[in-house]
Amino acid sequence: MTSPYRAIFAAPGSRAFSAAGLVGRMPLSMLGIGIVTMISQVTGQYGLAGALSATAALAGAAVGPQVSRMVDRYGQARVLRPAAAVTVVSVLSLLAAVKGGAPHWTFFVCAVGVGATPSMGAMVRARWSAIHREAPELLHTAYSFESVVDEIVFILGPILSIGLCTVLFAEAGPLLAAVFLGVGVLLLTAQRRTEPQPHPRAHRGGGSALRAPGMPVLIGVFIGTGTIFGAVDVTTLAFADEHGHKSAASLVLATYALGSCLAGLAFGLIRPRGSAQGRFLLGISLMAVSMIPPLLVGNLVFLAMALFFSGLTIAPTMVTSMSLVERLVPRARLTEGMTWTSTGLAIGVALGAALAGRVTDAHGASAAFAVPAGAAFLAAAVAGLGYRRLRPAPEREEPRGGYDDGHGAISAHDTIDGREGVA
């Protein structure tokens, strides 16, 4: 492991909570596809499978930020355990209902409960922020590392979930996802030393991270970014099917994730220059330009190459976005703010998959690559138009005796225990 990555893990407990976050994050890429695979195998109804997956995703979009808001107020240990318990019970109930041939409406009731799944990525990043708040270079590297972990999750999760559902038994994928969530939450919440301090006083007056002027802009961009991801997945699968190599779609998509992984690792080794706003706008713009080549390819090899280079733009943009969230919202609402970006991505993924599917049915897979390209340019437009709104929260503008380089780094004079406002 190179020096910057050794440095971030020098902090006591950092390896343990990061590993716990990896385990707890696996359901992010396993539950949705696992539910689709399970339902399609048991009932043969892909429409029902997609509707259940969409219900769980929309429930997560509605409930997830509220869970994170409670985490900011009461602490990770007090909130994550009951939230994870609701999710695990809901998944087990869904599996029992499917296995027992219960009425379909019961499936949807269980799918709503799955929406209580906490955003483990936000929980881990909040711990990194608390540890390295006075070292912006280390925080940048930590966020880069977590971006790579996200890609690993999205590479391994679907393979595990689909493989178990098809090789062992139909309910195996979602079952393992529930186990990962339960174990990950227990491991993470057992580590109290690195848990960020809650901010009960800062939340007594209500309010939300959405009140930060730049957050609606970021969420809009993330909806567009999620649309890219959802559309690329569906369109690549259809493109491979049209060319007689459907099974190769997973390999092509793996190159997409590989590009992001490599870019994330490299990005963590450098000290970025300029403002976070400027890097974010540049990253979104490059992401938009990178979606032009897939419109022009004619075979899977060139598509894999095009998506690899597109993937290089993902992780640096995601890392910069987390730095932006950290300076846009008050520290007392940091976890909620990070979760709202995940919510935007989830909504976008569902939207992108639906749009790409409709265009593919009507005009073919090659034409459907216009969906991610269009979403990318719309996201870049939103970022450009909302650029001036991406300004720091009042508490970050003039840190007392400290500095702010765009990463939200605050001096040691600021507190994190909620006794001085929301600092």
Chain segment 289-316, per-residue pLDDT in tens: 999 999 888 888 899 899 999 988 888 8
Phi, psi of 411, rounded to the nearest 5 degrees: -70, 170
Identify whether the C-beta of residue 327 lies closer than 8 Å to the C-beta of residue 392. Answer: yes
**Closest to 177 in 3D by CA, of 336, 363, 34, 282:** 34
Question: Higher-confidence residue: 78 or 268?
Answer: 78
**Closest to 377 in 3D by CA, of 315, 291, 296, 294:** 291
Please tell me the predicted confidence (pLDDT) of residue 85. 93
Domains of the chain and CATH, by start: 1-197 (1.20.1250.20), 209-405 (1.20.1250.20)
Condensed to tens digits (0 to 9), the pLDDT of residues 341-368 reads: 777 877 787 778 778 877 887 888 888 8
Question: Higher-confidence residue: 320 or 273?
Answer: 320
Which helix (H) or strand (E) covers residue 380, if one does? helix 370-385
CB atoms under 10 Å from CB of 157, counted, come to 24
Q: Report which DSSP code applies to 142.
A: H
Q: Assign residue 418 a region: left if phi > 0, alpha if psi is -120 to 50, beta otherwise? A: left
For the segment 253-275, the average pLDDT, to the nearest whole number, is: 80
CA atoms lying within 13 Å on the CB side of residue 83: 28
pLDDT at 1 over 50: no
pLDDT at 377 over 90: yes
How far is Cα 127 from Cα 188, in angstroms, rounded to an integer?
10
Indicate the burial class of 217 (C-beta count within 10 angstroms; 0-12, 13-18, 19 or more): buried
